[in-house]
Chains A and B, each alone.
Chain A
Amino acid sequence: MRRSVGRFAFLLPAALVLLAASPAEAYIGPGAGFAFLSSFFVLFVTFLLAIATILIWPIRLLIRLARRKGKLAKTDVDRVIIVGYDGLDPKLARRWMDEGKLPNFKRLAEKGEFRPLDSSWPSMSPVAWSSFATSSDASRHSQYDFLSRDPKTYIPDLASVKIVNPTRRIKLGKYRIPLGKPVVRLLQRSIPFWKILGEHGIFSQIIRVPITFPPQKFNGAVLSAMCVPDLAGTQGTFTFFTTDTEGAKAATGGVRKPVARNGNIVEAFVPGPANSMTEGQEELRVPVRIVIDEANESATLHLPDETFRLRLREFSPWKRVTFKPGLGVRVNGIVRFCVLSIRPHFELYLTPTQIDPDKPAMPISEPLFYSVYLAKLLGPYSTLGLAEDTWALNERVLDEELFLEQVWLNHEERERMFFNAVDQTKRGLVACVFDCTDRIQHMFWRYFDENHPANRGKDTVRFKHAIENLYVRADELLGRIMKTCDDPRTVLMVMSDHGFTEFSRGINLNSWLALNGYMAMKNGDKTCKDWFQGVDWSKTRAYSFGLTGIYINKSGREGQGIVDPKEALALKREIAAKLSGLRDEERGKTAVNDAIVAEDLYTGPYLDASPDILPAFNTGYRISWESAVGKADGKVFTDNTKSWSGDHCVDPRLVPGVLFCNRRLARKNPAIVDIGASVLDLFGIERPRHMTGRSFFRAAPEEDSAGSVPRGAANG
């Protein structure tokens, strides 16, 4: 019966068409018109593009040949694939390879090579990845830390990016219309090796390699990563709504907002950027109405353009939100929601509101449309530099389970981008960095040691194998990658920028400087607040902030400098000598293995931007959270009780990265600075003289320096 009804339903319109068959009625109406008109338009455009492609191709070829810099030597390589696992540790990799848990890493090592990879000095991601990109040490690319400071004001700033907002504005009613756009400038110096490849006609896709924001023009495509801000302009600020007024306290890396619950309704909002078009620059917001369904442990969220249901402790897909500063201007962002609790208190977590890659508020890729292309092809994806919300876990807003879920959601997006790029590349370079390895090791290292101070009051069992599982999962991904790269003309490198170690004790360098008479506070105090509030600069000879080291308060350089430049070197050596071998008497351990004066490490043109003294911390020690923000609290050593319990900002010799390659290396001690030079070599391009790195596919025994300062810091 149902079948005959179905047949009738089909026959009825068919019969009508036949019965009413005149030229006029042959047309089937606007419904089809809607769909087919678009299709025909697309077909027409495609046809035109095909014709244009064929006609323009010879001209483009000639232009390309004319622009190409120098000839390529003949090589046996068509394609280089670089898989960056941020922070993958060689000791852990070796251990689990030996236990048979990482069969693909083992297979790759047996086929080619597995070696520790000398990191940069300091062994921090922005520094190491800059050394990777430019094949240069820090004094040549000018990246020493996440933060740099304005020596005139001692005010910190991002080390890699300078954003200058337009100062001239037109007043129009309540609006202040800026004349011009903000200028975003990359402060990393030197030249990335993929730019040199591009100049020789070799196309690259560079995906999420840190310190590529703002993206620079070159013959290829780059999607920026570390240091891409959220829409509010921060490095990632989560929002936590709670009906518990006790829980709505201040948070680092996020904002806690109290909300009222009326019956089952909670009114919240998605925070956006400050409205730069108005005098007050108030925060732009998109309202969210939440209807709680207690019985089903879920909530329905109503955004202006969308309504969706979320189960308890479930991350929403990326949701697009549009902020309207006025005068028809729109700023687009994406955000994920997660209902953390329904009773006794309603709690909602929002990721930082990120730049929508489909409609980017500022360029996050080169060409600009590359991020748009990826969003259209693969769907929306996280764009924030540090998209895994480590602060939300540190602040215990997210727990370990949800943090891991967030990490893997982001990771899956990058996997899709990576495989898409690999599929497209028959000749050229694909480099992609996966951050999951770094973030999970930072946050789960405490599970390795039951006595880690970060374990106090926290679970120590449930996620005991999180890092091991991470390595197993990295291995599984590597297995899939190896399948796509299984040809003799493809070189596959798997590398990390540094390894990992424990972070159980923080060292407050500002407290140490104050206690040793190098730093002075107003009113004779021994402490100062964040960002040096209370420091008496007229009596301060050295200070510290960030995660790298100590700066001399040098006259002529610092705004209130007092140390004569002629005496600065002697002072550096004096402080370095005192700091070297610093012991943590409470633990009975040496905390600082060595303290190195910048001039002994670097010879490049940007030496002056370096911290003057770089301590090489022992395993377990790092600059404390307080010291990093310019605070002195009177104590040199403190327990690190945050979930962020593993780190790599120690003596770089203790935390080398890894290098796996499907080809044999000619050298025993590869360094991260060598990778760019080696890729150029693989494609038959001579290494430019400004690079400190050397190809590890060519023997150079005189360069062996095992056990010395890593070549990421020294002069090639």
Chain B
Amino acid sequence: MWGLVRAVTAVFDGLIGIFGRWNPMVGLLAVSILTGGVMLVIFRYTSNQQAIARQKELIKAHILEIRLFKDDLRMQFAAQRKILVENLRYMRYALAPMLVMLVPVLVILIQLDVRYARRPLLPGETTVLRVAVEEGTDLSSVRLDAPEGITVETEPMRIPGAHEVNWRIRAEREGSHDLVIAVGSERAVKRLEAGERVAKLSEVRDRAGILAVWARPAESPLPNGSPIREVALAYPERDLRLFGIGAHWLLVFFVVSVVFGFAIKGFVGVEV
């Protein structure tokens, strides 16, 4: 499964990498537009287009009914009731394509989330590295080897109750830095990204299961049987801006993908 996750992640790396030199918003816009188009096509082939068109016509008919019987309060409310009923039926026809699209859209969202929700550390910024181990593991045996470009600012802080060891670390240089955590002879690597570019960020590396690996696409899961349960570090939230306008990446994705979908539905011949 991890191989598949890696392949999908590589596709996104390539796609977003095309826009790597520009403002991060550009790559997000490109993916949103592409997603809007692809989802529209999926919607076309997974929905009952005829039924959707019919429901829309009925809704419009009942809206016209309100105009037609403008002096008849009873008919007006009857028409409004029919609009609500037809609208529910219309939403029912959206359920099947929604379920079909749920999986690919979740994958896309996760891939975008690991790149656009947070940003890498800037040189000089600090974060806390947290290593959780299995119960019974000697916390004094947990060590951290920081590569060049990363400074470990504090001595390890051991929390026996939580079976954790924490360090405060500081990024000194841009780039991908592999922190090596050793427990006895067992070793695990946690990647830390530093710099201004868009990179896939993993805040937690753990023993993700067969499905959970889709939610942690930036790093492979820890092997089962390792005394290390979880390695985590925190990144700052990304402030996305284009021409001085800032917005959460999810909002940008939602608006752009939907607006693009609506804009081209006529050309593609899709009833939405």
Contact = CB atoms under 8 A, between A and B. Distances in A.
Contacts of B101: 28-32
Nearest to A376: B61
A534 interface: no
A221 B68 CA distance: 8
Contact of B258 (A30, A50, A61): A30
Nearest to A374: B61
Interface stretch (B14-22, B38-46, B192-200): B38-46
A37 B64 contact: no
A46 interface: yes
Contact of B80 (A20, A49, A64, A367): A49
A32 B94 contact: yes
Interface in A197-230: 201, 203, 219, 221
B59 interface: yes
Given A19-B215, A24-B117, A36 B106 contact: no
A311 to B, nearest CB: 20
A30 B97 contact: no
B97 A31 contact: yes
Contacts of A28: 98, 101-102, 105-106
Contact of A377 (B61, B70, B215): B61
A42 B83 contact: yes
B55 to A, nearest CB: 10
Contacts, number: 164
A20 B215 contact: yes
Given A34-B262, A34-B272, A38-B272, A13 B106 contact: yes
Best-buried of A27, A42, A201 by chain B (most CB within 10 Å): A42
A46 B106 contact: no
Interface in B69-96: 69-77, 80, 83-84, 87, 90-91, 93-94
Interface residues of A, number: 49
A50 B77 contact: yes
A309 B70 CA distance: 43
Mostly, the B contact residues are helix
A39 B272 CA distance: 10
Contact of A36 (B94, B250, B262): B94
Contact of B40 (A27, A34, A53): A34
Contacts of A64: 71
Given A34-B39, A35-B94, A50 B102 contact: no
A27 B211 CA distance: 19
A370 B67 CA distance: 10
A700 interface: no
Interface residues of B, number: 64
B83 A15 contact: no
Contacts of B214: 16, 19-20
Contact of B68 (A10, A19, A30, A367): A367
A50 B98 CA distance: 30
Contact of A203 (B71, B73, B261): B71
Contacts of A17: 102, 106
Nearest to B113: A24
Interface in A390-431: 424, 426
Given A25-B110, A27-B250, A36-B94, A424 B215 contact: no
Nearest to A221: B68
Contacts of B56: 38
B71 A20 contact: no
Interface string B113-138: 10001000000000000000000000
Interface in A1-31: 10, 12-13, 15-17, 19-20, 22, 24-25, 27-31
Contact of B39 (A29, A39, A42): A29
A477 interface: no
B258 A33 contact: yes
B57 interface: yes
Interface in B214-248: 214-215
B39 A31 contact: yes
Contacts of B36: 30
B109 A60 contact: no
27 contacts: A10-B99, A16-B215, A19-B214, A19-B215, A20-B110, A25-B110, A29-B35, A29-B39, A29-B106, A30-B40, A31-B43, A31-B102, A32-B101, A34-B94, A38-B90, A42-B59, A43-B84, A46-B83, A49-B76, A50-B77, A60-B70, A60-B71, A203-B69, A367-B67, A373-B65, A377-B58, A424-B69
Given A13-B106, A16-B102, A31-B102, 13 more contacts: A19-B211, A28-B101, A29-B35, A30-B36, A32-B94, A32-B98, A38-B272, A43-B87, A61-B71, A373-B68, A376-B57, A377-B58, A426-B74
